[in-house]
Copies of this chain bind each other. A is one copy, B any other.
Amino acid sequence: MTRWQEEAARLDAADPLADFRAHFLIDDDLAYLDGNSLGALPKATPDRVAEVVRAEWGEGLISSWNAAGWIDLPQRIGAKIAPLVGAQPHEVVVADSVSVNLFKLISAALAMRPGRKVVLSEPGNFPTDLYMIEGLEKQGLAERRLAERDGIESALGGDVALLLLTHVHYKTGEMFDMARLTKAAHDAGALVLWDLSHSVGAVPVDLDGADADFAVGCGYKYLNGGPGAPAFAFVAERHQADLQQPLSGWMGHAKPFEFSDDYEPAPGVDQLLCGTPPIVSMSALEVGVDLMAGIGIAALVAKSRKLSEFTRAAMADMVPELPCISPDDPEVRGSQLSFRARNAYELCQALIARRVVGDFRAPDVLRLGFAPAYVRFADCWRAVQTLRDILDSGEWRKAEFAERSAVT
């Protein structure tokens, strides 16, 4: 055993969350460091989904909207997500996708700041965040402004309606100081919308403590809700009475089953519901959320930091030629580490061939994510050791590893 392998074994033996991997269906020989892209399958999910499909839909049919509580799923799951992000239960609801929820909440913020049109974000933010601002820009309702991270506070002029930032950067793992940026925006008269896609379930988030206005987040990463799982949205209690958003679908109506011609928004976050929610995907999400809520965010964060710290140190020692572009300090870093490599794509493919799954982010980033509920320190060690082997052997140069797929 090498020094790092021994250290990994020691950390796994002392890991209070070690038993939780057994709640997921992951092969023992798989080092899955891509839970920040698609979370693993909880073992309880197949049975729950089968029950929803066979019993609730197949047998209960239309009656399940009441009898199986389908109609309350968006609020019920939202309330379970709330403690993971420092929100009150009635401040969070599950609906649609992150992208669609961004549109709703950017619009809501613009409506609350008449006379201001600028939505401020940073270049290199996750694309959909930037694209949804552009959508409103093409409608003539918003003006997109991008400022580099160190210039955001000075870019908060009197024309800024909303500051839209992703709390943990998808590519670098850099984490914003939510409380500080929120205060800076408020001082400039702007509102703030936090994208928690790479945060929820892995890093500390205190929306209410930071006085945040709005947030959205992803269900299929650290919440383990399955591919394309529905997303969630947060609206601070103080804004709920004034909330107005343009995707005013019938499920967000105060009395949807009166079928009236005129829209009357449902109270609170319920207004963020739009069409009929996808019950099967939503039920799968609930299982993942239950699992994360059961572990609790403090334990998840503690292990996440240990995993990334171990990996960072091992990489610096064993693979020093790949510079880490994630922050050194785990307190300002998401649950991931990113390394710059000219042949990141090929390296990533060669790792996958050896059952070490990280991912590639264009143009030159190799990203390793640490889902604390099921990643072992041994997986991290294996990733580092395998990367060393692949670089030493040159096997990443094989032509097959250069072939590009539709999704990279």
Judge whether A41 and B25 touch: CB under 8 Å.
no
Judge whether A406 and B247 touch: CB under 8 Å.
no
Judge whether B38 and A131 touch: CB under 8 Å.
no
Judge whether B100 and A276 touch: CB under 8 Å.
no
Judge whether B246 and A139 touch: CB under 8 Å.
yes
- The yes or no answer to A274 lying at the interface (CB within 8 A) is yes
Q: Say yes or no: A131-B275 contact (C-beta < 8 A), given A53-B49, A280-B49, A406-B65.
A: no
- CA separation between A99 and B248, bound complex, in Å? 8
Judge whether A357 and B61 touch: CB under 8 Å.
yes
Judge whether B361 and A259 touch: CB under 8 Å.
yes
Contacts of A25 in B (CB 8 A): 54, 58-59
Judge whether B247 and A135 touch: CB under 8 Å.
yes
A9 to chain B: closest CB distance in Å? 25
- CA separation between A60 and B32, bound complex, in Å? 11
Q: How many copies does the complex hold?
A: 2
A383 to chain B: closest CB distance in Å? 15
- The yes or no answer to A277 lying at the interface (CB within 8 A) is yes
- The yes or no answer to A253 lying at the interface (CB within 8 A) is yes
Interface residues of chain A, those whose CB is within 8 Å of chain B, are: 25, 27, 32, 34, 37-38, 40-41, 45-46, 49-50, 53-54, 56-59, 61-66, 70-72, 96-100, 103, 107, 111, 123-128, 130-132, 134-136, 138-141, 146, 171, 220, 226-231, 244-251, 253, 256-263, 274-282, 284, 352, 357, 359, 361-362, 405-408
Sample of 16 further A-B pairs with CB below 8 A, known A99-B249, A135-B246, A230-B278: A40-B61, A41-B54, A56-B227, A57-B226, A70-B228, A96-B97, A96-B100, A97-B274, A100-B275, A103-B247, A130-B261, A134-B263, A139-B246, A220-B276, A227-B278, A280-B284
| 6 shortest interchain CB distances as A-B pairs | A97-B275, A99-B249, A99-B275, A41-B58, A135-B246, A227-B279
